[in-house]
């Protein structure tokens, strides 16, 4: 079932990678808004969930977040992480840098041990204010499913001009201030294979992350229903083998099946 998240705050929920996570959705609550249209996205295809509501304002996010943090404090619920995710790409909100500053201040006030995470496709990181904001958070988690432009066009399906080499160069500037997150899967879409677990995809990807030198690499596969119906999970054996090769490069790597 397609998931459309409330806005601007949802959860807390249990994340298989991040722990007890309080979600922050900087996009409308009635649809999806993303610069990618990934065929595996749990929020569905962009054209099926076009929002009619406006983006939440900086003040709306701050007010709702503080109210939820006060409630959690009263109920004795301690979040492990505040996660910017939701119905698409969080950095598309024009107030993203200021909202990050507000969130860090509220985190420090109410739950100073919690981390702040952003799940991003990194396309907006080419904009300096977004790059600077991402450098401030604890877990700047950037998508890099492959370095193949053809695969990106088939699977991630960016809107507008997207140059993966420019993105890799930007990710190198983050260095150990970023985490690389990669979806590995099998199956097909539009009659073509989307299997990126083979050597033709894995070796160039490994060379890219070796160049980037992120703090960590997160490898995962499909966990929820996808809008494209012929996708398949990568096997635990394939994921473990890729993860081990990343570790042999001296990189910390986690694997989620």
Task: Identify each DSSP E strand in 78-191 by its residue range.
Answer: 81-85, 115-120, 139-143, 179-183, 185-189
Cα angle for residues 20, 21, 23 (degrees, 5° grid): 160
pLDDT single digits (tens) 84-117: 998 999 999 999 999 999 999 999 999 999 999 9
Rounded CA separation 32/58 (Å): 19
Model pLDDT, residue 51: 87
For residue 256, the cross-strand partners are: 220
Model pLDDT, residue 1: 57
pLDDT single digits (tens) 133-159: 999 999 999 999 999 999 999 999 999
pLDDT tens for each residue of the chain, 257 residues long: 567 788 899 989 887 667 899 999 999 998 999 999 999 999 999 988 888 899 999 999 999 999 999 999 999 999 999 999 989 999 999 999 999 999 999 999 999 999 999 999 999 999 999 999 999 999 999 999 999 999 999 999 999 889 999 999 999 999 899 999 999 999 999 999 999 999 999 999 999 999 999 999 999 999 889 999 999 999 999 999 999 999 999 999 999 99
Model pLDDT, residue 145: 97
List Cα–Cα distances, 36 to 83, 100, 160, 255, in angstroms. 19, 22, 9, 23
Model pLDDT, residue 23: 95
Which phi and psi angles does 46 have, rounded to 5°? -55, -45
Counts of helices then strands in the chain (DSSP H, E): 7, 11
């Amino acid at each position: 079932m397609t998931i459309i998240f409330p806005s601007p705050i949802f959860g807390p929920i249990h994340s298989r990678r991040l722990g007890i996570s309080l979600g922050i959705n900087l996009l409308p609550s009635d649809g999806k808004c993303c610069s990618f249209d990934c065929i595996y996205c749990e929020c569905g295809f962009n054209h099926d969930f076009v929002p009619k509501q406006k983006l939440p304002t900086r003040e709306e996010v701050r007010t709702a977040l503080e109210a939820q943090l006060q409630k959690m404090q009263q109920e004795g619920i301690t979040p492990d992480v505040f996660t910017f995710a939701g119905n698409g790409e969080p950095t598309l909100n024009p107030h993203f840098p200021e909202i990050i500053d507000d969130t860090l201040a509220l985190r420090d006030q109410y739950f100073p041990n919690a981390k702040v995470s952003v799940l991003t496709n990194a396309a907006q990181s080419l904009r300096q204010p977004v790059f600077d904001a991402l450098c401030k958070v604890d877990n700047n988690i950037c998508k890099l499913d492959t370095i193949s432009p053809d695969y990106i066009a088939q699977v991630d399906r960016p809107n507008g001009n997207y140059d993966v080499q420019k993105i890799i160069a930007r990710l190198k500037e983050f260095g150990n201030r970023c985490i690389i997150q990669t979806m590995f899967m099998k199956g097909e879409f539009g009659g073509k294979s989307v299997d990126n677990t083979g050597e033709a995809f894995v070796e160039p990807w490994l060379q890219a992350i070796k160049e980037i030198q992120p703090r960590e690499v997160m490898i995962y596969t499909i966990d929820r229903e996808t809008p494209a119906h012929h996708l398949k999970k990568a096997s635990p054996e394939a994921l473990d083998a890729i993860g081990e090769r990343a570790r042999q490069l001296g990189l910390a790597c986690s694997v989620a099946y």
